Amino acid sequence: MKDKKYYLYCRCSSKSQKTDSQRRTLKKAFPDGIVFEEKLSGVSKTRPERQKIIDRLDENSVLVCPRMSRLSRSLSDLFSVMETIRVKGANVIFLKEQIDTTTSTGTLVFNLMAVINNYQRELINDSCREGREAAEKKEGFDRWGRPDKIKKEKKQLVRDLKKQGKSYNDIVKLTGISRASVYLILKPEKRSQFNENLKEARNQKKSEETLKN
């Protein structure tokens, strides 16, 4: 069996802070480990050094952190990183929390986190779906997206002008409606796709906010 490769990750929240204490803790536990460090906020979306470690991970490697908050300050991001580590067949060790996925107890924690992550996502999806269905059943519901400022009569005028052979430019001049709106009126499938994309983006944002909380 090959020797394990240990990647030691430490992070502080600003350039004025130092990672010396974290480095000492990591090196004391794993003297032969390779240290990766970065100085950036915990809410930063890009972590180049952490990504370098993740890219190197395989079945024979272990990512080691002084504590969980150094790896991630967001629950959703932590779940995502842990799932990536698990899929790669690698392991992770958090010294402060005494979590070591190379052990049977640590593996249980590893798997529980994956289950909890999936469970939370299912709850969020169910909640979003129920909310959409409830909104769609309300009296006066027309469609998703921003309220339509163009009256039905004017939409029909656009369609009638198109049937008469008018060009898009002609319709824009005659109705005062923007070219983009004219296009969406005459191509309803594009509007449907726009609404679906909007719903998906909103649901994704809601999911991320719920997981962070």
| Percentage of the residues of the chain whose pLDDT score is greater than 70 | 79
pLDDT at 61 over 60: yes
| Beta-bridge mates of residue 10 | 37
More confident site: 125 or 164: 164
pLDDT at 213: 47
Provide the pLDDT for residue 90. 94
Q: To 10 degrees, what angle do helices 104-137 and 188-212 make?
A: 140
Overall pTM > 0.85: no
More confident residue, 198 or 180: 180
Q: What is the pLDDT of residue 206?
A: 57
Using a pLDDT cut of 90, give the percent of the chain over it: 24
Rounded distance between C-alpha atoms, residue 49 and residue 39, angstroms: 10
Q: What separation in angstroms does the CA of 137 have from each of 2, 84, 92, 134, 143?
A: 61, 39, 47, 5, 11
Using the predicted structure, report yes or no on whether residue 178 has a pLDDT greater than 60.
Answer: yes
**Mean pLDDT across 122-150:** 70
* Cβ(66)–Cβ(95) below 8 Å: yes
Distance CA 39, CA 156 (A): 59
Quote the CA–CA distance of 39 and 30 in Å, as a whole number. Answer: 22
pLDDT surpasses 60 at 194: no
The runs of H, that is alpha helices, within the chain are 20-29, 48-56, 68-71, 75-87, 104-137, 152-163, 168-175, 179-186, 188-212
Distance CA 178, CA 128 (A): 33
Whether 85 has a pLDDT exceeding 80, the answer reads yes
Residue whose token pair is 């809601």: 206
Q: What is the mean pLDDT of the segment spanning 127-137?
A: 75
**Which of 22-26, 125-129, 164-168, 186-190 shows the lowest per-residue confidence on average (mean pLDDT)?**
186-190
Residues ≥6 apart with Cβ < 8 Å to 212: 74, 75, 76
**pLDDT tops 70 at residue 55:** yes
**Which are the contacts of 53, defined by CB distance < 8 A and separation ≥ 6?**
7, 9, 36, 63
**Strand 5-12 versus strand 61-65 pairing type:** parallel
